[in-house]
Amino acid sequence: MSDAAGDYLFKLRLVKLKDEALVAEIGIQASVNDINLYTELALNMANLQFPETGKYEFQLYAGDVYLHRVTMNAILAEGGR
């Protein structure tokens, strides 16, 4: 992340795209000290379980400001239940 400075409440949401249902959400309060340097965030969504196969989206927010998204396709692994 770049071009930020100050204190932020970052939020990472996992949303099922089929119906826009919220699957999981985690937040972290963090300080970004220098607008000229890159900052990394590490967020752990422990024990994350997808309710079904399909398309999902991770959404990153700083406060209520949407920053970025990454979409993925969840599939059942061979031998899975």
Rounded Cα–Cα distance for residues 4 and 39 (Å): 9
Rounded Cα–Cα distance for residues 36 and 1 (Å): 10
Provide the token pair at 44: 């752990």
Give the tens place of pLDDT for each residue, 1-48.
667 778 889 999 999 999 999 999 999 898 888 888 888 888 888 888
pTM of this structure? 0.81
> What is the set of domains in the chain, with CATH numbers?
6-74 (2.60.40)
Strands of the sheet containing 54-62, edge to edge, are 21-32, 6-16, 54-62, 65-74
